[in-house]
Structure 1
Amino acid sequence: MARNLLKRFIPTPAAIKSNPALHFLGDLLHDPNLFHLNRHSVSVAFFWGLFIALLPIPGQMPVAAGAALLFRCNLPITVALVWITNPFTMPFFFYLTYKVGSLILQSEPLMVEPELTWDWLANEFGHLWKPLLLGSVLTGLIFGALGYFGMQMYWRWHVNHSWRKRQKNRADKAVEEKKENS
């Protein structure tokens, strides 16, 4: 299952708790939901990780870690999901969220050539922030909800599939034993 794959890449709770940079969190890191892979913890982590990934804020990882602590969901998954908007994908995602916000506000999207300079950002931010923020929150909520419900459905499917597979294996084994005993 994906659980075993994730366990290979996720740091152990002991490694995270013993990290000296995290001692200021005290007992907050001792909540078992922060590191357990169960349906609730992972689904909520998907919601918050995807929601925060689409917010145009600096320091998404600490914000995601704070959300994981606050909502008691899987910390490593929440933090890892914010990397969906990495430096390569961020322009695409934030342009999409800007367009969504412009559409909802019924404002004309700016047709200016974007520049990667602080001067351009300072001059244009007054026109960009409302549609960007609204679009980011809305798409974050939508993608977060899709991630939450998608993970819930996948988890249920996987449990049912594993259960049926075990039942079939038991039935096959019983048939073989019956043949051997005959």
Structure 2
Amino acid sequence: MAKRFFRSWLPSPEQVNNLKIMKIFGDKALNPTLWYVNRKSISKAMFIGTFWGILPIPLHSILIILTVLIFEANLPIGLLLAWVMNPLTIVPILIFAFWIGSKIYHVHMINKEMLLGVFHQITHWIKNFGHGHIDLSLAKILATGLLIEALIFAVLFFAITRIYWRWSIIKKWRMRQNCK
């Protein structure tokens, strides 16, 4: 059941390998283990895609591909999670990361003006290719919160995938036993 669910909406290896970014990795991206739909491969991909997808860093797709190649997880799931998660949830992710960071460093939650100031500093820094000023005290709070948030959600998605997969198998076994 879980296997059928994931296979139903996963792109084919040819579709993913036709992406320009995949040309960098050559034949390594055609490794059949990167396309397996099983409990281990999918749950590892959920962890990898969630972790890198939460971190708002440039070229996170390349980091996902490298991590997937190292840990032999499902490539399309890892990429799809980051592509869906990052643009749709970036504002709540950053707010929650600031909240986590403020709890860790025992500071009051940052107000809207401070938050907008940090976002302005970051966008200015990115637009000028690393030249400019960033208030590192706020960046430290954000970076710490983002890393912890990424780990929490990655572990959570990993566990949910494993639990769902196990539940699906038990349900299938019970249905098979009831038919006898």
How many Å apart are 1:88 and its aligned residue? 4.0
Show the counterpart of 1:106.
Answer: 106
Show the counterpart of 1:68.
Answer: 68
Show the counterpart of 1:24.
Answer: 24
Show the counterpart of 2:129.
Answer: none
Residue 88 and residue 124 in structure 1: after superposition, are their counterparts in 2 closer, same or farther (change >3 A)?
A: farther
Which secondary structure does the structure 2 equivalent of 1:86 belong to?
A: helix
CA contact (8 A) 1:56 1:133 kept: no
Show the counterpart of 2:164.
Answer: 154
User: Which string of whole-angstrom CA distances, capped at 9 and with x for unpartnered residues, describes residues 117-149 of structure 1?
Assistant: 444995554232111111111111111111112
Report which stretch shifted further, 127-136 or 110-119: 110-119
- Partner Cα separation in structure 1 for residue 6 and residue 31 of structure 2: 19
Show the counterpart of 1:176.
Answer: none
Letter matched to residue 47 of structure 2: F
Show the counterpart of 1:77.
Answer: 77
How many Å apart are 1:22 and its aligned residue? 2.6
Which secondary structure does the structure 2 equivalent of 1:11 belong to?
A: coil
TM-score by length of 1: 0.80
- Partner Cα separation in structure 1 for residue 138 and residue 101 of structure 2: 10
CA contact (8 A) 1:85 1:93 kept: no
Which secondary structure does the structure 2 equivalent of 1:168 belong to?
A: helix
Show the counterpart of 1:177.
Answer: none
RMSD (CA atoms): 2.5
Residue 9 and residue 103 in structure 1: after superposition, are their counterparts in 2 closer, same or farther (change >3 A)?
A: same
Q: How many residues align?
A: 170
Letter matched to residue 168 of structure 1: N
- Partner Cα separation in structure 2 for residue 148 and residue 141 of structure 1: 10
Identity %: 31
- Listed as ranges, the matches of 1:122-137 within 5 Å are 123=133, 125-137=135-147
- Partner Cα separation in structure 1 for residue 67 and residue 6 of structure 2: 20
How many Å apart are 1:8 and its aligned residue? 3.4
CA contact (8 A) 2:2 2:168 kept: no
Residue 160 and residue 23 in structure 1: after superposition, are their counterparts in 2 closer, same or farther (change >3 A)?
A: same
Residue 16 and residue 50 in structure 1: after superposition, are their counterparts in 2 closer, same or farther (change >3 A)?
A: closer
TM-score by length of 2: 0.81
CA contact (8 A) 2:50 2:85 kept: no
Matched, 1:8 2:18: no
Which secondary structure does the structure 1 equivalent of 2:159 belong to?
A: helix
Greater Cα radius of gyration, structure 1 or 2: 1
Report which stretch shifted further, 106-115 or 127-136: 106-115
How many Å apart are 1:155 and its aligned residue? 0.8
Which secondary structure does the structure 1 equivalent of 2:27 belong to?
A: helix
Residue 126 and residue 100 in structure 1: after superposition, are their counterparts in 2 closer, same or farther (change >3 A)?
A: same
